[in-house]
Amino acid sequence: MFTHTISSKFAIFTFILVAACYTSTTIGQITSSGPPPPAKATPKAQPTPAIDPLPSNDPNELVQAALKFYQQNKYGEALANAIKAATLAPSDFRPPYIIGLAYWRQQKLKSASENLAKSLALKPIKEVYIQKAKVDRYRNATDEAVAACREALKIDPSYAEAYLMIGEILQYNDKRRDEGIAAFKTAIKIDPNFLAAYESLGDALVDAKDEKGAEEIFRKAIEIDPMKMTGRFSLGRVLVTQGRLKEARELWDGRTSSDDRTFPNFIEVLERAEKLKAAQDAFAQKPNDPATLVQMGFAVMEGDSWVVDGRQDKAIVYFRKALAIDPKLARAQYGICKAYIEIADTYKDKNKNVDPELVKLRTMDPKLADEMTQYRKTYQGGITGSSISVDQ
């Protein structure tokens, strides 16, 4: 369960960043859920260069120029023209809106939020409130994000997207998860076919330890989704944790798409569980068979590189028992080397264990030793995230 929680939250965090990239090509299409996407994502905040705006003093021309530069991913130019337009036309909501989007793209989140707030003060638009909520969420300003959603609901009390956003903001807050779950349920009540709300509600119920409720929601989502995919892999993960591997396999086999943007992918989780079950069954029949012990060791050791849960230490016990029975079993020594390499990636003082084990493996099978030497050079555990500026 620990593995599932960490990996799913990591995946969700990854998708939060991607979710900013919704399509909007003109100010007239401000009803999108996020800023116009650039050709390629900006990896981290960059200093805004000092760029002169157009010589024009026509605010409309400056706004159009700013939008054009923005769509070309030229954020410095977009900002220069939008800032000049804002000075010339302080009552126009469009310049601060574009400024907010440009800062969002540069991951200067506080400045993005402040300028979207200025735009909203001039012209309240429910979709822009949701955009501001997204920015505030990314900078961990939870109260401001929820407040923005509440403002959107004042404009449209039946705005299901606002309830969805509230739910997504609060679902990982242990103290406010129930509020988030209630928001998801309201979104579904408003729009019974709101598939995103079903999936998010199911995930929130899993985190709330209500797997029965989550299963019901996921199955409902699958039922109403024409492609039968919404909630399918999430339900599969629940079934795996419950040991219902046959049902989980049926969900995979019945898919209409293999697209899975969570990590680890459902098929990886399922195959790991199936391998472990097969190894456990074999071990129950032949607990002293060296090959079975090695199979068990590898099945126990398999997992996400960023999760540190002691599984390698458990696997080594099986590998050493196999070697005690068959001292020439290179595959068992290979497993020990792999386990120690992974352990040493987190606990550097354990590197002293790797070299002597590799020496032993080389005497048994030089090819496998070369493979593990290369593995040692390339293995990397832990989570690698991008840098976000809460403001520069």
Q: What is the CATH number of the domain that holds 336?
A: 1.25.40
Task: Establish if 167 belongs to a structural domain.
Answer: no
Of the candidates 77, 94, 123, which is a domain's last residue?
123
Task: Establish if 33 belongs to a structural domain.
Answer: yes
Mean pLDDT of 116-124: 98
> Considering the chain, what is the average pLDDT of its residues?
88
Structural domain of residue 101, as residue ranges?
A: 1-123
Phi, psi of 195 (to 5 degrees): -60, -40
- Strand locations in 245-351 (E): none
Structure tokens at 357: 């084990």
Q: Tens digit of pLDDT for each residue in 146-158?
A: 999 999 999 999 9
Examine the pLDDT at 329 and tell me if it is beyond 70: yes
Task: Establish if 185 belongs to a structural domain.
Answer: no
pLDDT given at position 52: 85
Interhelix angle for 109-122 vs 94-105, to 10°?
A: 160
Task: Establish if 263 belongs to a structural domain.
Answer: no
Instruction: Write the CB contacts of 41 (distance below 8 Å, at least 6 apart in sequence).
Output: 21
**8 A C-beta contact, residue 151 and residue 124:** yes
Whole-prediction pTM: 0.81
Model confidence at 391, pLDDT cuts 50, 70, 90, reads: low
Structure tokens at 288: 């002293």
Number of structural domains, the chain?
2
- Distance, CA of 277 to CA of 115 (rounded, Å): 55
Instruction: Write the CB contacts of 351 (distance below 8 Å, at least 6 apart in sequence).
Output: 344
Per-state percent for the chain, helix, strand, coil, to nearest 5: 70, 0, 30
Please provide the size of the chain in residues: 392
- HSE-up (13 A, CA, CB side) for residue 33: 14
Structure tokens at 113: 């939020």
